[in-house]
């Protein structure tokens, strides 16, 4: 279940990262500044961002297999889902429609599952 929850976060991580990138690009004042921002982000993303993201996802998924560290994996899921929800819900300027709330519902469920798992596993170790 932990691995499924980790995989469910992937589209939300991509969407949140896209919103952050869009915010940085929108802050550019001119066309050369826009291209410089895009180039800087692409140059960082290609060698380190994708490898780092894949490594973090693999580590969070692997934490679910360790009985001693499962609580940490749950809290990591909770933190990642909360960050994604903050970005996704915080970026739009118009109120969210029912369909948009329905779209972010699985991310909210992962947040709740991660918090429950982290708390339950930590209590079981105590």
| Number of structural domains the chain divides into | 1
Burial of 53 (0-12, 13-18, 19+ CB in 10 A): middle
**What pLDDT was estimated at residue 15?**
92
In whole angstroms, give the CA distance from residue 86 to residue 32: 30
| pLDDT (mean) for 29-47 | 82
Q: Domain limits at 47?
A: 2-125
H helices of the chain, where?
A: 2-8, 10-26, 31-44, 50-63, 70-90, 98-125
pLDDT at 45 over 80: no
Instruction: Give the pLDDT band of residue 106 (cuts 50, 70, 90).
Output: very high
**pLDDT given for residue 62 in this prediction:** 94
C-alpha closest to that of 72 among 107, 111, 113, 122: 122
What is the mean predicted confidence (pLDDT) over 20-27?
82
* Residues whose CB is less than 8 angstroms from the CB of residue 110 and which lie 6 or more positions away in sequence, other chains included: 5, 8, 9, 77, 81
Question: Helix, strand or coil for residue 87?
Answer: helix
Contact 40, 25 (CB under 8 A): no
């Amino acid at each position: 279940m932990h691995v499924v929850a980790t995989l469910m976060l992937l589209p939300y991580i991509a969407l949140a990262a896209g919103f952050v990138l869009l915010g940085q690009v929108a802050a550019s004042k001119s066309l050369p500044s826009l291209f410089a921002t895009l180039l800087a982000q692409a140059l960082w993303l290609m060698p380190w961002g994708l490898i780092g993201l894949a490594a973090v996802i693999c580590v969070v998924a692997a934490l679910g297999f360790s009985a001693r560290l499962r609580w940490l994996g749950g809290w990591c899921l909770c933190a990642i889902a909360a960050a994604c929800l903050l970005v996704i819900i915080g970026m739009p300027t118009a109120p969210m429609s029912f369909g948009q709330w329905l779209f972010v519902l699985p991310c909210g469920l992962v947040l709740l599952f991660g918090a429950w798992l982290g708390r339950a596993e930590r209590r079981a170790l105590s």
